Amino acid sequence: MDRLKDRVVIITGAGAGLGKGYAIAMAKEGAAIVVNDFVADLANGVVDEIKAMNGKAVACIGGVGTKETADNLVATAVKEFGTVHVLINNAGITRDNLLVRMTEQQWDDIMTVHLRGTFLNTQAVVKNIIDNKVAKGRIINITSPAGLYGNIGQANYSTAKAGIIGLTKSNSRELARYGICVNAIAPAAKTAMTEAIPEKPRQMLYDKFARESTIQKMGEPEDVSPVLVFLASEESQYITGQIIAVAGSIGIM
Ligand SMILES: NC(=O)c1ccc[n+]([C@@H]2O[C@H](COP(=O)([O-])OP(=O)(O)OC[C@H]3O[C@@H](n4cnc5c(N)ncnc54)[C@H](O)[C@@H]3O)[C@@H](O)[C@H]2O)c1
C-alpha cells in the first residue's frame, strides 16, 4: 500500500478513463496526486474520490497544450505538496477522419494536445526537478497501438503517438544524468475514447481484442494501472527509454 509513499505525481487528463484509473491506483499506494483535466467537474470528482479514501489530491484545471497549463501543473504540485517527482502525460483526444477528408483543424488539434502538450509539460516538470535536485524523477508518456502500427482514419493521431515515442527515447537519453527515467506505455482499454468510436468499428475492435489478442480480452483501466504504479515508483530505476504495450499483446493490429 506504500509503494508511492511521499511521491508527488501530476496526471494530465485524469478526470476520466485511464487517467482516473492511474490517479486512484497511485493514491492507494500513498502518492499525492495533481489531478488535471479541462473539465473541472471531472477533475474535482476524482479529487473528492481520493480524499474520501483518505488519499491526497488537488485539482488543476486547464487544457494541456499551452505553456500556461504546464507552468500551472508544476506550481500547483509545489504549492500543495512541496515538490514533483512524476509526470504522466495522459491527456488525449481523437479527431478521426480518412486522410483525404482530414481538415487542418483536426490535424492541428491532435498535434497540440498530444505532442505540444507532452513537450511543454515535460519541459516544465524537468526544469523543476533539475533546479531542485529532486531524486528519482519519472516521466511516463502515453502512446498507442496506433502509434506503433498506424490505423485507418487516424493519420493525425498515429503520427502524434509515434512522435511521442521519439520524444520518449530522446528525453530518456538526455535526462538519465539527472536520475530521471522516461518511458511510455501503449495501452488498450474500454473508456469514453473507445466508446466514442462508431458502433460497427468499435465492435470490430473489441471483438478483435477478445478473439485475436494473446490474452483474448479488451482491457479495463484497472488492467493498465499496475504498470503505471511500477513506472512511477522508485523501483523502476533501471528502466528507461522503453515503450511497454499494456494491451494483452497487440501484435494483432
Ligand atoms: N482507451 C484506449 O484504449 C487507449 C489506447 C491507446 C492510447 N490511449 C491514450 O490514453 C490516454 C487516455 O485515454 P482515455 O481512453 O482514458 O480517454 P478518455 O477520453 O476516456 O479520457 C481522457 C480525459 O482527458 C481529458 N482531456 C482531453 N483533452 C484534454 C486536454 N487538452 N487537457 C486536459 N484534459 C484533457 C478529458 O476531459 C478526459 O477526462 C490518451 O492519451 C489516449 O490517446 C487510450
Q: 3-state DSSP call for residue 185?
A: strand
For residue 146, the ligand 1 atom closest to its alpha carbon is: 6
16 lines ligand 1 (CB under 6 A): yes
38 lines ligand 1 (CB under 6 A): yes
Note if 157 is an active site residue.
yes
Contacts of 37-41 spanning 24+ positions with Cβ under 8 A: 37/12, 37/13, 37/61, 37/91, 38/62, 38/63, 38/64, 38/91, 39/15, 41/15
State the cell numbers at 7. Answer: 511521491
User: What residues have CB less than 8 Å from 197, skipping those under 6 apart?
Assistant: 96, 205
pLDDT at position 12, please?
A: 99
Neighbours of 243 (CB within 10 A): 16
Point out which residues pair with 140 in neighbouring strands: 88, 183
Burial-class residue 99 by CB neighbours within 10 Å (0-12, 13-18, 19+).
Answer: exposed
Which residue has the CA at smallest separation from atom 7 of ligand 1? 144
pLDDT in tens, the chain (253 residues): 899 999 999 999 999 999 999 999 999 999 999 999 999 999 999 999 999 999 999 999 999 999 999 999 999 999 999 999 999 999 999 999 999 999 999 999 999 999 999 999 999 999 999 999 999 999 999 999 999 999 999 999 999 999 999 999 999 999 999 999 999 999 999 999 999 999 998 999 899 888 888 999 999 999 999 999 999 999 999 999 999 999 998 665 5
Q: 3-state DSSP call for residue 146?
A: helix
pLDDT at position 250, please?
A: 67
For residue 145, how far is the Cα from the chain centroid? 14
pLDDT at position 212, please?
A: 85
pLDDT at position 213, please?
A: 87
pLDDT at position 208, please?
A: 87
For residue 194, the ligand 1 atom closest to its alpha carbon is: 1
Q: Which domains does the chain have, with CATH numbers?
A: 8-189+220-246 (3.40.50.720)
In the DSSP assignment, the letter for residue 7 is -
